[in-house]
Amino acid sequence: MGEIQAVTARQHDEAASLATELDQVERARGGDRSAFEQLYRSHCSRIYALCWRLCGGDRSLAEDMLQEAFVRAWNKLDQFRGDSRFATWLHRLAVNVILSDRRIRVRRLQRETPMYDAVEQTAVGERDVSAGLNRDLEAAISGLPERARTVLVLYDIEGYRHQEIAQMTGMAVGSSKAQLHRARALVRKRFDESQTNE
């Protein structure tokens, strides 16, 4: 009996939370900045974590992408139809912001230098993503080449399917699967190497 009451209470809390969030979205659509600020506070930690991982642990770039994602959300609030939770819509918007920024940076690098494997690694920002490998999983993930890291984060951490990843990134489903396999193998190899070097 206690479990049923706990489940019912949890469902009631979730419904109330969803209603509050939808109210905040509607008020923000009407120009209420304090309602949007409440949405920001509710979701900024999770969106920042996503940005940080997809940016290879580059804190400055992740903060820029977080800010850009919320600016874009404010400007596109009228496009939120309520078919999914606001958190889901915001999450997808943030992924699109990051991938769009990445494409711009890679194009810029391609104009400046010949395309080598290193370009994929240096496109994350000013730091070298292969430096400072250690046993920490986040460090191993941030050390992956961008495409492999993107697929690993979106598939293994964020729970997207390969079809969704292919649509967001513009790669084929088979490429998404191959990049996931590559990413997992590289993380495993780095952990094995760090244990051998100890």
Domain of residue 164, CATH code: 1.10.10.10
Establish if 144 belongs to a structural domain: yes
pLDDT at 69 over 70: yes
93 in any annotated domain:
no
**Does residue 79 form part of some domain?**
no
177 falls within a domain? yes
Which pLDDT does position 21 carry in this prediction?
Answer: 87
What digits encode the pLDDT tens for the residues 2-21?
A: 666 665 766 666 766 677 88
Task: Please compute the mean of the pLDDT values over residues 133-142 and round it to a whole number.
Answer: 65
The residue count of the chain comes to 198
Among 27-31, 119-123, 125-129, 193-197, which range has the highest average pLDDT? Answer: 27-31
pLDDT at 23 over 80: yes
pLDDT value at residue 191: 72
> Cα–Cα distance between 53 and 32 in angstroms, integer?
31
Residue 156 domain-assigned? yes
How many folded domains does the chain comprise?
A: 1
In tens, the pLDDT along 70-119 reads 999 999 999 998 888 899 999 999 999 999 888 887 777 666 544 444 44
For residue 125, being part of any structural domain is answered with no
Closest CA to 24 of 85, 71, 72: 85
Mean local confidence (pLDDT), 38-51: 94
Say how many Å lie between the first and final Cα of the chain, rounded.
Answer: 53
Amino acid at 192: D
167 vs 47, 58, 151, 176, CA distance in Å? 20, 25, 12, 10
- Rounded percentage of the chain residues whose pLDDT exceeds 90: 44
Residue 158 domain-assigned?
A: yes
Range of the domain at 174: 130-198
* Helix (H), strand (E) at residue 171: none
**Residue 47 has what pLDDT?**
95
Which amino acid belongs to residue 136?
Answer: D
In the block, tokens 């309520």 appear at 82
Residue 134 lies in a domain: yes
**Over 50: is that where the pLDDT of 187 sits?**
yes
Per the prediction, the chain carries an average pLDDT of: 81
Buried b (16+ CB within 10 A) or exposed e, 16-40: eeeeebeebbebbeeeeeebbebbb
Helix, strand and coil content of the chain, in percent to the nearest 5, comes to: 75, 0, 25
